[in-house]
Structure 1
Amino acid sequence: MMKDDNVGKILFGWTSFIRKFVLRVLRVGPIPSHIAVIMDGNRRYAKKKKLDEGAGHDAGAFALLCLLVNCYELGVKYLSAYAFSIDNFRRKPNEVQKIMDLLRESITLLTRIAKHLPVRVHFAGNLALLSADLRDAALRLMEATAGYSKFVFTICVCYTYSDEIIHAVQESCQEKCNHIQEIRGIDACGHQDENLIKLADIEKHMYMAIAPDPDILIRTGDEYRLSNYLLWQTSCTQLSSLSTLWPEFSIWHLVWVVLNFQLNNPYLEKKKMQL
């Protein structure tokens, strides 16, 4: 179970000075604007430590909140986390309920963290699949932090890339349909080009339209699949697969990933220019 006193541990732990020093050194090089993570290995971590299965998710949530603070202090502007896939509803009911309960607790902790750090929290995905009370809590947190712009933390919940594309196409078609109805009888033939769906229309209606494409996508647990996550947005993204399980992810893993990004940054920037 996540506890409120974890906020103090995350923000004001005894390692705070060391963390700040390490991150200051890292800021000498180019800093990624957007880091995305696929948090794999929570259940394996619990099995490895001989803990209840749910304890692995608790530890994983704490690791994510620590990453949030580290990215904020490093100067990263966007952090996105794949918290729950639509496909995860196929898991055992008690595990799904555990994750939903943990999400509810995390919203409470993020509300408290937002009082110390100007973090905008955004939930990306098909939120209609959440229970009404959980969806309302998520919407309240998004509304409460909507005025912040220095750092955006996106939690991808009830998300898959396939669903994101379907959503974006449906919204684009509806928008164009509304536009055609508005101009009908005026000069519909003269607006034929405007009636076509363009790339910008699709991207505008993406769940992830709030953030630029990731510079780095981290996946833990020694997995190399994207698992239906941000396929549209990762054509020029550095992929970092780590053997460590997600609850064991620490600032030192973040340092290694960012150093690798800084080493490859000229090549990545060249590839972006070629698109």
Structure 2
Amino acid sequence: MAEERTSGVIGRFLGSLNSRMRRFMFHVMSAGPIPQHIAFIMDGNRRFAKKWKLEEGAGHKAGFLALMSVLKYCYEAGVKYVTVYAFSLDNFNRRPDEVQYVMDLMHEKIEGFLKELNMVNRYGIRVLFIGDLGRLQEPVRAAAERAMEATSKNTSTYLLVCVAYTSSHEIPRAIHEACQARASNGHYHNDGEDEVEDDGMMIKVVDLEKHMYMGVVPDPDILVRSSGETRLSNFLLWQTSNSLLYSPKALWPEMGLRHVVWGIFKYQRNYYYLEKNKKQA
């Protein structure tokens, strides 16, 4: 019994020490520019399970724990928006049993996230699910709506979860909605100059971006894909044209503090180059 109490005291001490060291490190890092928005492609859950000979689903469970840690580190570093690619719209083309497995897993993870409300409220996280949510099974959609409702009053930080999402769906959908909006207006004024006839087909980039799923937040400063892969996999193709791309070799469940810190350092090192490109775009 005494050994258990001693172990608990040591554990709390080490946890407190680690927390203080992180705060000090992030304080030093804050002397440079901190990215406002980091997006993650969470790649490597299955390979992690295969690597360690774990049962099916164990890789995704480990990945969920990694996500909780990565979120904490990002928010502690001063990142306001974090976006994660949870489920591609293309994944609905898999075998029905695979789709059902992923739906069940997603439902389990959303419910698990709702049990982490202490952490969510501590960092003031507002959760937004992004994508064609009508494609989700009813229990998953209902859980997503509960998560959004439970965090709707939080405004300090944001977690955007892309589900039933691909850029090749988002962009044509935004074009269609922007054209419909223009058609309903009929005419518009071009920055106070001559009135321009608009037949409903003339749209600007700003009009298009208003109708993007991701139009509710700034574009990502960094796009991170774990497991060393460099493919974007139809994710945020429009929004990442001026983002720093970072591909650590770690599988997603292996992602941790050092990967978040190194990604921010890479961003700081390339900050002026990235900002120059944004201004020229």
TM-score (normalised: structure 1) = 0.86
Corresponding residue for residue 133 of structure 1: 139
Map Cα deviations across residues 195-245 of structure 1 (whole Å, 9 max, x no partner). 432211210010101111111001111211111011101111100111111
Cα distance in 2 between the residues matched to 1:27 and 1:102: 37
State yes or no: 1:228 paired with 2:234: yes
Alpha-carbon contact 2:244-2:267 (below 8 Å) kept = yes
Greater shift, 162-171 or 35-44, is seen at: 162-171
Cα distance in 1 between the residues matched to 2:137 and 2:231: 29
Alpha-carbon contact 1:221-1:244 (below 8 Å) kept = yes
Corresponding residue for residue 192 of structure 1: 197
* Unmatched segments (≥5 aa) in structure 2: 1-10, 189-194
Greater shift, 61-70 or 40-49, is seen at: 61-70
Deviation at 1:263, TM superposition (A): 0.8
Corresponding residue for residue 101 of structure 1: 104
Alpha-carbon contact 1:54-1:95 (below 8 Å) kept = no
Match of 1:204 among 195, 210, 213: 210
State yes or no: 1:23 paired with 2:35: no
| Amino acid in the other structure paired with 2:54 | L
Corresponding residue for residue 152 of structure 1: 158
Corresponding residue for residue 5 of structure 1: none
Corresponding residue for residue 67 of structure 1: 70
Cα distance in 2 between the residues matched to 1:98 and 1:74: 35
State yes or no: 1:246 paired with 2:252: yes
Match of 1:87 among 53, 67, 90: 90
| Amino acid in the other structure paired with 2:53 | K
| Amino acid in the other structure paired with 1:52 | E
| Amino acid in the other structure paired with 2:125 | V
| Amino acid in the other structure paired with 1:119 | I
Greater shift, 110-119 or 147-156, is seen at: 110-119
| Amino acid in the other structure paired with 1:254 | V
* Unmatched segments (≥5 aa) in structure 1: 1-8, 184-189
Cα distance in 2 between the residues matched to 1:194 and 1:261: 43
| Amino acid in the other structure paired with 2:36 | S
Q: Percentage identity across aligned positions?
A: 50
Corresponding residue for residue 3 of structure 1: none
Residue 230 of structure 1 aligns to a residue whose secondary structure is coil
Map Cα deviations across residues 143-190 of structure 1 (whole Å, 9 max, x no partner). 33233222111000110000001221222223233334x99xxxxxx6
Cα distance in 2 between the residues matched to 1:270 and 1:38: 26
TM-score (normalised: structure 2) = 0.84
Residue 158 of structure 2 aligns to a residue whose secondary structure is strand
Greater shift, 167-176 or 253-262, is seen at: 167-176
Cα distance in 1 between the residues matched to 2:123 and 2:199: 42
Cα distance in 1 between the residues matched to 2:42 and 2:113: 18
Alpha-carbon contact 2:123-2:156 (below 8 Å) kept = no
Map Cα deviations across residues 109-141 of structure 1 (whole Å, 9 max, x no partner). 433133333111111111111012211221232
Residue 261 of structure 1 aligns to a residue whose secondary structure is helix
Residue 87 of structure 2 aligns to a residue whose secondary structure is strand
Larger Rg computed on CA atoms: 2
Cα distance in 1 between the residues matched to 2:138 and 2:130: 16
Match of 1:168 among 161, 169, 174: 174
Alpha-carbon contact 1:54-1:98 (below 8 Å) kept = no
Tell me how large the CA RMSD over aligned residues is: 2.3
State yes or no: 1:33 paired with 2:36: yes
Number of matched pairs: 258
